[in-house]
Amino acid sequence: MTGFPNDVLDEVRKHLEKEKTEISARIDELTQQDPFTDPDRAIDNAASDTEASEESNHDRVAAIVNELTTKLSDINAALMRIADGTYGFCGECHQMIDTDRMSILPMATLCKSCEEKKKK
């Protein structure tokens, strides 16, 4: 299997590593903002409207962190594929994924036609 040239893979790796660092920092930041991480929260006897606001903020933070964690997992998987030489190849048909698709979605694991088959 001949894949992307090493210089292209190096650029993709750098981009993914940078994005990984930024996402990890964002997850840490959001986790610190989560009202449920405050140890004094359990004993603060907050009013019901404050409690509702805290729960709403927690749900929002949890949803964003979950989405970012999924993206982080996809980035780690792409970095593993770069390391083992399978980056840019479809996980179903094993053909090389179109470079335009990879430039838009560098964590893609399926070519466009296999992705469309999967959606059906």
Do 72 and 24 touch, CB atoms closer than 8 A? yes
Domain boundaries defined on the chain: 1-87, 88-120
Those residues with Cβ within 8 angstroms of residue 118's Cβ, 6 or more apart along the chain or in another chain: 92, 110
pTM: 0.78
Q: How far apart are CA 38 and CA 32, in angstroms?
A: 9
pLDDT tens, residue by residue, 37-78: 655 545 555 555 555 566 677 788 889 999 999 999 999 999
**pLDDT confidence of residue 88:** 93
pLDDT score at 46? 53
Q: Given a cut of 80, is residue 3 above it in pLDDT?
A: no
64: region left, alpha or beta (phi > 0 left; psi from -120 to 50 alpha)? alpha
Mean pLDDT value of segment 82-105: 93
